[in-house]
Amino acid sequence: MEKTLVILKPSAIARELIGKVITRFEEKGLLIVGIKMMKLSEELLREHYSHLVSKPFFPLILDSMTALPVIVMCVKGKDAVEVVRQMTGTTNSRKAAPGTIRGDFGMSGQENIVHASDSVESAEIELKRFFRDDEIFDYTPALIKFMYASDEV
């Protein structure tokens, strides 16, 4: 099963949406195998968003992502990267479909509630950036047989 990174951004923290967002992932059948709250540094954000550092809007990203702490999660499941991306919706929350996290909770392109890895390769890199190996746990919930067919786990 795949693992992917999800960040609940300061906009989710400020708007007290933590429980609602996490519940969506859990209700879908994804496993939270790593979770912590942290304050992001400019150095870490420059590394994480290195592909955007030269863009004129990068200072807005810095301001937004350092306004409050974030919650970083390692989410595990079959095709987790794709499933999480579908659940989060498009980057601009105003254009995100109803039923997605951004579509239901956001109105902004920047203050868009969550970050989610965009590929399996990105997820591997991003998870190493935010988690030590001993902060990600491997467990099998008792109800796994009701979440997946036996040939999917």
Instruction: With CA atoms as reference, report the closest residue to 85 among 50, 119, 52.
Output: 119
SS3 111: coil
Burial of 56 (0-12, 13-18, 19+ CB in 10 A): exposed
Up-side HSE of residue 73: CA atoms within 13 Å toward CB?
Answer: 25
Looking at 24-38, 69-83, 135-149, which range is the least confident one?
Answer: 135-149
pLDDT of residue 144: 92
Q: What is the pLDDT of residue 44?
A: 97
Which pLDDT value is given to residue 153? Answer: 83
Q: Name the percent of the chain lying above pLDDT 90.
A: 95
pLDDT per residue over 120-153, tens digit each?
999 999 999 999 999 999 999 999 999 999 998 8
What integer best gives the mean pLDDT of the chain?
A: 96
Residue 51 annotated to the active site: no
**Active site residue: 2, 101, 115, 126, which one?**
115
Q: Provide the whole-model pTM.
A: 0.94
CB 130, CB 8: distance < 8 Å: no
Spell out the domains of the chain, with CATH numbers in brackets.
Answer: 2-138 (3.30.70.141)
Task: Identify the three-state secondary structure at position 105.
Answer: helix
